[in-house]
Amino acid sequence: MRDSISIVLNVYKRSHLLAKQLWSIQRQSIAPSEILVWENGNETTPKDLLGGLKIARANHNFGVWARFSYALNAGGEYICVIDDDTIPGKKWLENCLETIKETPGLLGARGVIFDNKNSYSMNKDVGIYNPNDETTIVDIVGHSWFFKKEWLAEYWSFANKRYNNNLVGEDIHFSFVMQQIIGLPTLVPRHPTNDFELWGSNPELSKLYGSGVEGISTSTKSLQKFEKALQHYRRIGFKTISEMENQQIKLSKHSNIFYMFVQKFPRLMHKLAKIKNRLKKGII
């Protein structure tokens, strides 16, 4: 059906947040045509929330990629995959639908622009952690992915190129396929400070839920995996915005030893990069 939107959620260690998430999804200004839930080998959907949901259960943790496999079963023209720590604003689906019609591309709630092609940890945010008044091109997106279902065919046709780790890489893989195969950008729809209903997530709740022990991106080991995933996709053709804007000379001022340090201590560099961005905006 034209303009129909399927929602894909996952339940893994955060089933206690599902009620709040469903409440926000079921009250969207554009109602989703269906809600699919992937139970990823740990917890199950609370019994009082089962009504109207299409649920698939795995007895094994297949990681972050499984949601995009399960999404192949969706019947909507568009699909919105939403992280389990993400509570979208009332007009998020409306915002995405308007944006994708005006500027086709992979959309997300949190965008990342890499300051340097050699480092995942050195980046700046766009979207829920750094509001943008206009649709903005970014390197990758997270928290929420909004896209045409037909693009999943390309996503999985390049499964043999994926970064071989179940816990990371699904976000870069999608942007890699969009850029190199489909020929469309990765974008963050506008997140204006005067209308939080358009936002892809409540930023304070995302920080609170995402920083819990359930999160996979909070440890140094995880950040090191993210670093390796970025370099994997760069080796097979993915270009960061900094590379496409021909800033290589400007960005190559750091030595190889510096980037070895970044990859060894990504959490420290991630924090320093965020402090740098806050200083630029005059927050501190």
Q: Is 277 exposed, middle or buried (0-12, 13-18, 19+ CB in 10 A)?
A: middle
Six-digit token string for 187: 């974008």
Dihedral pair phi/psi, residue 260, rounded to 5°: -65, -40
**pLDDT of 2:** 84
Identify the CATH number of the domain in which residue 56 sits: 3.90.550.10
The predicted pLDDT at position 147 comes to 98
What does the pLDDT read at residue 209?
A: 61
Contact predicate 14/214, CB 8 Å: yes
CA 143 to each of CA 4, 117, 129: distance values in angstroms, whole numbers, following the listed order:
21, 22, 11
Strand 186-188 and strand 136-138: pairing? Answer: antiparallel
Q: Given phi > 0 = left and psi -120 to 50 = alpha, else beta, which region is 35?
A: beta
pTM, two decimal places: 0.84
274 — phi, psi (to 5°)?
A: -70, -40
For residue 54, the model assigns a pLDDT of 95
Distance in angstroms (rounded) separating the CA atoms of residues 67 and 187: 20
Kindly give, in sequence order, each residue whose CB lies less than 8 Å from that of residue 50, ignoring residues fewer than 6 positions away. none
- Count: domains in the chain: 1
Per-10-residue mean pLDDT, the chain, length 284: 92 82 95 94 78 90 93 97 94 98 97 89 90 97 97 96 94 97 97 96 74 52 89 96 64 48 53 55 54
Whole-angstrom CA distances from 127 to 84, 131, 144 are: 18, 5, 11
> Helix, strand or coil for residue 259?
helix
**Could you identify the residue written with the tokens 């926000």?**
24
Q: What is the pLDDT of residue 274?
A: 54
What integer pLDDT is reported at residue 211 of this predicted model? Answer: 47
- Which pLDDT belongs to residue 146? 98
How confident is the model at residue 247, as a pLDDT? 47
Question: Domain range holding 100?
Answer: 5-280
Reduced to 3 states (helix: H, G, I; strand: E, B; else coil), residue 29 is coil
